[in-house]
Structure 1
Amino acid sequence: MAKPLQKGRDRSPEKKDLSFHAYTITPESAHTSILLLESTEPEILCQALRAITKFSAQDIQNRYVLFNLNAIHYMLPHIEHRELHVRRFALKALAQLCQLPRGPEQVLEDPQNVKKIAHMLVKVEDVFVLEFASLVLSELTREPIGCEQLVSANILSSLFSRMKNSLDPDVQKNCLQTLSNLLDDPVCASEVTKNKQFSWPSLLALMQSKFLAIQHAALRTVDQLICRYKNEVVQKTFRSSTGVLDLCDILESYEFRDVHTVVLNILKNYVETEDNVSHVYQSGCILRLLAYLEMTLPAMKPYCLAVLTKISFSSSGRDALYETGTDLIFCHQLLGSNVALLADAAMGVANMTKLWLSAVRMSDTNIIQALCAILSDDAAAWFYTRINTLRALAALCGKIPKAAYSLVEPETFAALRNINKNCKFKDCPKLKCMGQ
C-alpha cells in the first residue's frame, strides 16, 4: 500500500538565494567584490583577497572573469601593505592571475612593480610572502620584458641564494623556474652566468631533490646552461664540476628512473663539442653508459644508444669509443631484435668507419650480412633505419676491400639489387626526391 503524502510538505521549487555575500564570490558578484579592494580597512582587504584567491582557485574561467574586470589593477597596491596577511593574499591572488597567458602584461606596464616584488626576495623572511613573490616572478619572466626588468632590479644574487638555501621547496622551485626563464633570453642569460653567486654545486645538488618538480626544473636549467657552447666559462666550470658524474649517478639510481630520459638527453646535448667528449671519456662516463645500455629496460636503450652515437660524430669521440669497444656494441645491436636501435647503431657504424682501426675490427665481424638483412627487410623504415644502413655499407666498402668483397657475394648483393626491383616510387626516398 502506498504511503500517504506527508502533510504540510512544501513541494514548491527551491528559491535561489539572490542576496549578496561579500566574501562568497560568484561570476555575477565578482565586480562588487573587487571594489572592496579599495577599502582602507585591513580586515576587509584581507577577507576580500582571501575570497578572491578561493574563487580564483576553483576554476580557470573564474580567473578570466577577474582578469577581465581589471582585478590586477586593484591588487597591486596591496602587495606592500603594512599588514602581513594582506600582503600574503594580495601576492597569492596576483600569482594566480599572472598564470593566465596575458596575465603578466598589466604588471609589466610599470617596471616598479617587478622591482617591488623582486626586492621581497632580499628583504622579507616570511615563508608565504617568499613563496608567492617568487611564483609571481617566475610567471612575469615568461615575457622578455619581464626578464629585462628583473635583471635591472639587480637581485640575481638573492635569487641564487633563495634557490640554494630556502627551506621551502616551492620557493626553490620558483627561483629555479625564474632562472630557467632568464636563460631562455640571450641577453639575460649572460647576466646569469657572470653573476658571482652562480655556481654549479648548488644547482647540481637540486638534480637529486626528492621533489620531482624541483628535480625537473634543475635538470632543465643544467641543460640550458651546457647548451651555451660558446660560453667558455660555463663549459669550463661544468667540466671541472661533478656534473657528469652526478648525471651518471642519477642513471644508476632506480629511485630516479622517472628522469632517466631527461638525463640521457642532457648528456646527448653535452657531447656536442670535442672538449666535452674528451671529458665524458676521461670521467668514465662512456663505460657507465655501456653498463646502463646492457642492464636497462628495452624502452630506455634507444636514448642511451643515441648518446653513444652522438659521441661517434667527433674525432676524439671515435677514439674513445674504439678504446671502450663501443664500435663492436654498435655491430651487436644490429643483430638484435630491438628495431628502435637499428638507425642509431647503423649511424654509429658509419661514423666509426672513419677510424681505420675500428673499420678493420668491425669488418672482421658479420656486420655486412647484418646490414644487408636490414636493408632487405621491406618492413624496415627508410628514415632513418635503411638510409643509415646504406651509409654504413658505403663507408665500410669504401674503406675495407674485404667488406666490399663480402657485399658482392650473391646472397648479400641481392639486398642491394632488390632495392631497385622492389621499391615503388612512393616508398623510395631517392626516387621520390628525384621525381620532385
Structure 2
Amino acid sequence: RCSKLAKRLSPPPTLLVESKTPATVVLLLNSLEEDILVKACEAIHTFAEKGTLLTNSDVIFLSDVKGTLKKLDAVPSMVEKLSPEEDTVVHEFATLCLASLSTDFVCKAQIFDNKGLLPLIQLLSSPDPDVIKNSLEIIFNLVQDYQCRLAVHKLGGIPPLLKLLMSDFPVIQKLALQTLQNITTDKDTRNTFREEQGFEKLMDILNNMVNDFSDLHDDTLQVVANCLSDSESVQLIHNSGGLTKLMEFLLSPSIPEIQSNTVKCITRVAQSSESREVLHKQDVEKVLVELLSVADIKVKSSTCQAVAAMSLHLASKDSFRDLGVIPAVVQLLSSENLMLRAAATHALSNLTHSNKRNTLAVYEAGGHEFLVQQLNGNCPRTVTNSAATLCNMAGQETIRSSILSHGAMQALVEPLKSTDSQVLINTTLCLSVLARDKEARAELQRAGGLQPLVNLLRSNHKEVLHSACMAVSVCASDEATAVEMCKYGALEFLQEISQSVNRRSRFTKLAMVSLLNSNLSVKYSLTGHLTSSDIITDGFYDAGKVCYLLEKKKEEDKQKYEMQFESLIEKPSNTIEDVSLQILVEEAKESILRLSDEKEQYAALARLVSDVMGGAVEMEKLHKFSWMLHLSELKFQLQSNVVPIGLIKKGIYCHRALLFKCLADCIGIGCSLVRGEYNRAWNEVLLFNWNASNNQHSSQPRHYIVDLMHKPGSLLEVDTPAAVWYQTI
C-alpha cells in the first residue's frame, strides 16, 4: 500500500467484530454504523488476502471465500460504498476488497455491470493516495477487457489518468501508465489522449527519466508506441513537433535500455507506409546510423530492426546506402550474439529487396560470405533472413557466381530439412535463383540436396509447396538432375497433387511440365503427347504407356506401376548405335529440305517413312501385315526389348509416327506426336493454307494429321471423319 499522511481522527470506543464465517462479515456491510462497515471491510480484505500465504489450507480457504462472496452477491454492496457520500476510510477498504476480487473474471463483470467504473474513475481524484492506488488497480484489471477499455474513455477517464502521471508515488504512476497502455489501443481513445496533451506529458516523463522516472521508461514508451500506431496520429503528432522531440530524446545522452526501447517505438511507428514517409522526412535514417555505433548489443539489435522496417520505404533504402549503413550492418554478421545477427540479417534482407545498388553494396562489403555461413546456424530467423538476402543478391550473375564459390549450394541442404515453414520458403526461393547455373545444380546433387527438396512436395503448407515447386522446375533444367529427382519420387508426388483440387496450382503444374520436358521418354509414356517444341534427341525411347499411380485400385497393380515407372526413369544400358537412323536423317535432309513448299515437305517425309517401314497398307489387309513377327525377330536377334527405330522394316502406326517425329525434329520441321489406343499413334502438323483468290496464305493455321499408313503423304484435317478413322479402330 502507498505511504500516506496520518489522517484519521481519534476513534470512538472500540467495537470488536470477530467472525470466522465470510457470510457473517458480508452481512455486516448492510450496517448503518460506520465503524462496523470499516471493520467488515477490513475482515473481508483479510479473507481475500489469505491467498498470499503459502499453506494449502489457506489457498483452499481463499477459494471458499471468493466462492461465498460471489454467491452472496457481495460486489454490489461494495460498489455502493464507493459513492461520494461515504467517508474516505470506507472508500479505502471498499476499494481494497474490490482490488483483491477484481482479478476474478466473474467479479470484474459484476463490478462493471453494477456501474462501478464511474465511481472508481471519480475516486482517482481522491485526496487519499491509498484510495487512488486501489481504484487504479481495479480499473487496470477491468480494462483487460475490450468493453471496459472503451467505457473508461467514454466516462472521462483520460484526464484523471494523465494527471496521475505526475503523482508523487511511483506505484501510482506505473499503474496509470499500464492502464493507459491498455486503453490507448483504441483509436478514439488515442484521439482524446492526444487532445488532452497526453503525448507531451509522456515526453516530459521521458526527458526526466535519467533522474526520477527511469524505472517507468518501458511503460511510457509502450504508451508512446500506441499513440504512434496509426498514420493519422503520427501525422498529427508530427505537425505539433512531437516526432522532433522524440528524435532529440533518442540522441540525447541516455541509458542503453531506454534507447533500445525508444528505437523499438520507432520500429512500431514504421509499420505503415504513411508513417514511414513522415519518419523519412524527419531524417530518421541519420538518427539510426548514429545509434549503430553505440556499443550496447540491445541498442544495435533494435536499431537493425528499425532499419529493416524503414527499408520498406524506397527512398530510405537509398538514404541508408548513402549514409554507409550497409557496411556497418554487414560487420554485425560476425557478432557472437545470436539476437544481433538475426536483426542484422533482417535489415540486409529488406535493404536488398528489389534494389540492385544495395545488393552490390552488400557484395562489396563481403556480406555474401557471412550470409552463406549463417545458413548453417541454429536460429530460424537468421537462416530465413540470410536466405532471403542471398536470393535478392543472386539475381546478378557476378554476385551469384561469388555466392556459389563460397559453398552456398552445400549450405542450403541442411535448411531444406527444417521444420520451420519460413525457413523452407526462403531456402527454396534462394535455391531457385542459384540453381540457374548447371554446375550449381550438379553441386546440389552431389551435396545430397535433391532428396530433401523433393520431399517438400509432400508439404501441406501452401507457400512451402509452391516455392518447392519453383525450385524443382529450375533444377529440372537438365536431364541428369530431372532424372535424379524422379528417382526420389518427384513425379509421383506431383501426380498425386494433380488429382487434388485443393493442392494443385500453376506452380505444381510448372514443376510437372519442367520435369517431363527434361525427360521426353518419361513425358511421352506418362502423357502420351509430345509437342512440336519437344525435340527428340539421341537416347529417346518409347517404353509404352504408363498409367498414373492414382488410377491403380489394387495393390498388385500399384506394384506393377512402380516397377514400370522405375524402369522408365532408368535409361536402357544395353542400347546400340542406330546407324540406319543416321542414314535416314541424312537422306531426309537431302531430299526434304530442298522442297520449298511446307505442305509438300510433310508429304514427302511421310512417304519416306512409309517406304522404310513396309509401305502403304490397306485398312482391310492390316491384319495380314506381319509387324509383330518382325519385331519379335529383332528382339531375339538383339537379345533386348529395346529395338533401334532405324532397324524396324515393318512398322505400324506407333512406329511410323515415332520415326516421323524423330526425322522431322532432326531436319527442323515442326510436328507433334500423340499416342492413341491399341498401338495407334499419329503426328499433327500446323499449316497455313494458300488462298488462290487473294494470292496469299490464310491468316489462321489449320491442324492436320499425317497419314503414314494407308495413303502415305495425305494430310487429314483434324476432326474430320477421315482423321477420326485414322486415329481409332
User: What TM-score do the two structures reach when normalised by structure 2?
Assistant: 0.47
Gap change, CA 1:279 and 1:138, over 3 Å in 2: farther
Q: In 1, Cα distance between the equivalents of 2:360 and 2:113? A: 68
Q: Select which of 290, 297, 302 maps to 2:260.
A: 302
Deviations 1:5-44 (A, max 9, x none): xxxxxxxxxxxxxxxxxxxxxxxxxxxxxxxxxxxxx988
Map of 1:47 onto structure 2: 16
Contact 1:368 1:393 in 2 (8 A): yes
Q: Provide Cα deviations, 1:278-330, integer angstroms capped at 9, x if missing partner.
A: 23323333222222222211232111111112112222221222122211222
Q: Which one of the candidate residues 206, 209, 229 is aligned to 1:272?
A: 229
Q: 2:133 aligns with which of 173, 185, 210?
A: 173
Give the Cα separation in 1 of the matches to 2:193 and 2:348: 38
Choose which of 130, 138, 152 in structure 1 pairs with 2:99.
138
AA matched with 2:16:
Q
For 1:347, the equivalent position in structure 2 comes to 305
Paired residues for 1:303-318 under 5 Å: 303-318=261-276
Q: Aligned pair in 2 of structure 1 residues 373, 142: CA closer, same or farther (>3 Å)?
A: same
In the TM superposition, what are the counterparts of 1:99-248 in structure 2 within 5 Å? 99=49, 100=51, 102=63, 103-111=65-73, 113-122=74-83, 124-164=85-125, 166-195=126-155, 198-227=156-185, 229=186, 232-248=187-203
Contact kept in structure 2, 1:151 and 1:191, CA below 8 Å: no
The answer to whether the 8 Å contact 1:225/1:234 transfers is yes
- Partner letter of residue 184 of structure 1? Q
Greater mean deviation of Cα atoms: 234-243 or 394-403: 394-403
- By how many angstroms is 1:334 displaced? 2.5
Return the offset for 1:244: 0.8
Which residue of structure 2 aligns with residue 434 of structure 1?
417
Match of 1:85 among 27, 32, 35: 35
Q: Distance in 1 between matches of 2:271 and 2:222?
A: 16
Distance (Å, rounded) in 2 between the aligned partners of 1:238 and 1:200: 6
Q: Percent identity?
A: 23
Residue 240 of structure 1 deviates from its aligned partner by 1.8
AA at the equivalent of 1:73: A
Q: Which amino acid aligns with 2:193?
A: F
Q: How does 1:406-417 map to 2 (within 5 A)?
A: 406-409=361-364, 411-417=366-372
Query: What is the distance in 1 between the residues matched to 2:320 and 2:361?
Result: 13
Paired AA for residue 115 in structure 1 = P
Distance 1:279 1:270 in 2: 10
Cα distance in 1, alignment partners of residues 377 and 107 from structure 2 = 54
1:229-281 CA-partner distances (Å, limit 9, x unpaired): 3xx43232223221111111111122222212210122223332222332332
How far the C-alpha of 1:417 sits from its partner, in A, is 4.0
Counterpart-to-counterpart distance in 1, 2:324 and 2:148:
53
Deviation per CA, 1:158-209: give whole Å up to 9, x if none: 2222222x111111111222222221233444444433xx242211001111
Task: Answer whether contact 2:112 2:148 (CA < 8 A) is retained.
Answer: yes
Matched residues in 2 for 1:133 and 1:147: separation? Answer: 15
Residues 1:369 and 2:324 aligned together = no
Cα offset, 1:405, TM superposition = 2.1
Higher relative contact order (CA 8 A, sep 6+): 1
- Paired with 1:262 and 1:369, the residues of 2 have a C-alpha distance of 34
Deviations 1:355-387 (A, max 9, x none): 23222221112222112111133x031x4x323
Contact 1:363 1:400 in 2 (8 A): no
Question: Are residues 1:249 and 2:204 paired?
Answer: yes
Instruction: State the number of aligned residues.
Output: 363
Report 1:20-31 matches (<5 A): none
Mapped partners of 2:146, 2:311: distance in 1: 38
Across the aligned residues of Structure 1 and Structure 2, the Cα RMSD in angstroms comes to: 2.6
Q: What is residue 292 of structure 1 aligned with on the other side? A: 249
Contact 2:102 2:108 in 1 (8 A): yes
3-state SS of 1:272 partner: coil
**Quick one: structure 1 residues 348 and 201, their matched pair in 2 at CA, closer, same or farther if it must change by over 3 Å?**
same
Which segments of 5 or more consecutive residues in structure 1 lack a partner in the other structure? 1-41, 53-68
Cα 1:200/1:369, change in 2 over 3 Å: same
In the TM superposition, what is the alpha-carbon distance from 1:432 to its structure 2 partner?
A: 5.5
Question: In structure 1, the residue corresponding to 2:312 is in which secondary structure?
Answer: coil
Cα gap change, 1:155 to 1:435, in 2 (>3 Å): closer
What amino acid does structure 2 have at the position aligned with 1:316?
A: E
User: What does residue 14 of structure 1 align with?
Assistant: none
